[in-house]
Amino acid sequence: MDRTVESEVLIVGGGPAGLTLALALDGIGIETVVIDRAAPAPRRKAAFDGRAFSIAWTSHRLLHGIGLWRHLAGRAGPIQEIRVADQASSLFLHFDHREIGDHPLGFMVEATDLRRALDREAAGRRRIALIAPMALAELTRGDDGVTARLADGRVIRARLAVAADGRDSETRRQAGIRTVGWSYGQHGLVTAIAHERDHEGIAVEHFQAPGPFALLPLAGGKRSSLVWTERSDTAPAFLALDDAAWQAEIERRVGDGLGRIRPIARRWGYPLILRHALRYVDRRLALIGDAAHAMHPLAGQGLNVGFRDIAVLAELLDQARGRGEDFGSPELLRRYERWRRVDALTLLAVTDGLNRLFSNSVPPLRLARDLGLAAVNRIPPLRRFFMRHAMGAIGKLPALLRA
């Protein structure tokens, strides 16, 4: 039996970033092998667990273009408006999709739905080989290609390797790519609630002293994803509350605008960090998603920045195929890094700055940020610019984000 598999691109990591890239490359005729430590079968059967992704409008175009949105359209909650406010102030910022078009600003998609759709779609593509659960034992990158040795002894040969294995990427570490970053001393607490009144597609973000608190509209009108930030030293106490105290804490933060509420999912807690790779590429290697840049979730842009990595890399590989260029050539990888670096660094800086600005109660800073919210809200061109930024529609966009 032949234990060697030949492919064009090897993707390490079969999460949302890795499988989305595989689907994008399949759409332009490029073969991939995807290696992942987790088995897809349990993901396909998993029930909603409270976690959800914010999908920007341009990211929705990508998912539509690769054939994935048909699995998600009926289960995605459109974001029609965004309301941003400082909890201690009457000043606010309001984004309304009707100012810039007849489509939503974005969508909320349950994490289990996205993973299930990715697994289902990838299983039907003949140019995608998903090997999971499987560990990568060794990855060698040379002048002529990459060779991966798997834990079961199989060997994968390809022209290019892509690290899509998350913010703690072992592939990045083994390539000797250093990162810069820090811990925020904060935890993100995540769950979901059902409520009496319809959210009407309105996403709400309040800034409190420990950090932002977001209520995000899920499909159906009467369910919302809830994400709030707490200090790392106090977060465990919230996660340990009994059910009655947990509900009371949520009610206190949500208020009575949605009527009676009740938690409908388990609780999650994550340490919040910033981590940025000093390089996005190495010899026959490209980093995408959190392997390249992990950011604070306050603007819901982490996955969307990864989707932009995917759209750019797919476009460059498509161009390389047309020119007969090697997929792992240094020039192609340099083009990828140049295209993606400024956008990612900008969003890292914006999310970091906003978190630092709003996660405190110092009076002068509080006054400055409240006046800033009010000023943006009163200047329509500036307000529309920020809306387009939230939609991912600023800057040079690859074809998959324009279609």
pLDDT, tens digit, for every residue of 375-384? 777 888 888 8
Mean pLDDT of 314-339: 97
pLDDT over 60 at 84, yes or no:
yes
Residue 89 confidence (pLDDT): 62
Of residues 144 and 91, the one with the higher pLDDT is 144
Segment 5-34, tens digit of pLDDT: 999 999 999 999 999 999 999 999 999 999
Residue 301 confidence (pLDDT): 87
Of residues 42 and 23, the one with the higher pLDDT is 23
pLDDT over 80 at 266, yes or no:
yes
Mean pLDDT of 254-266: 94
Q: Which domains does the chain have, with CATH numbers?
A: 4-180+273-402 (3.50.50.60)
pTM of the entire structure?
Answer: 0.93
HSE (CB half, 13 Å, CA atoms) of 195? Answer: 26
pLDDT over 80 at 372, yes or no:
no
Query: Virtual CA dihedral for 15, 347, 51, 76, nearest 10 degrees?
Result: -90
Comparing C-alpha atoms, which of 147, 151, 163 is closest to residue 4?
147
Mean pLDDT of 223-249: 96
Q: Which amino acid is at 147?
A: T
pLDDT over 70 at 64, yes or no:
yes
Residue 1 confidence (pLDDT): 40
Residue 87 confidence (pLDDT): 65
Of 113-117, 185-189, 343-347, 381-385, the poorest mean pLDDT is in 381-385
pLDDT over 70 at 120, yes or no:
yes
Distance (Å, whole) CA 298 – CA 28: 34
Residue 363 confidence (pLDDT): 67
What are residue 83's phi and psi, to 5 degrees? -120, 125
Computed over every residue of the chain, the mean pLDDT equals 92
Mean pLDDT of 142-148: 96
Of residues 50 and 313, the one with the higher pLDDT is 313
Of residues 34 and 355, the one with the higher pLDDT is 34
Segment 148-196, tens digit of pLDDT: 999 999 999 999 999 999 999 999 999 999 999 999 999 999 999 999 9
pLDDT band, very low/low/confident/very high, at 335 (cuts 50, 70, 90): very high
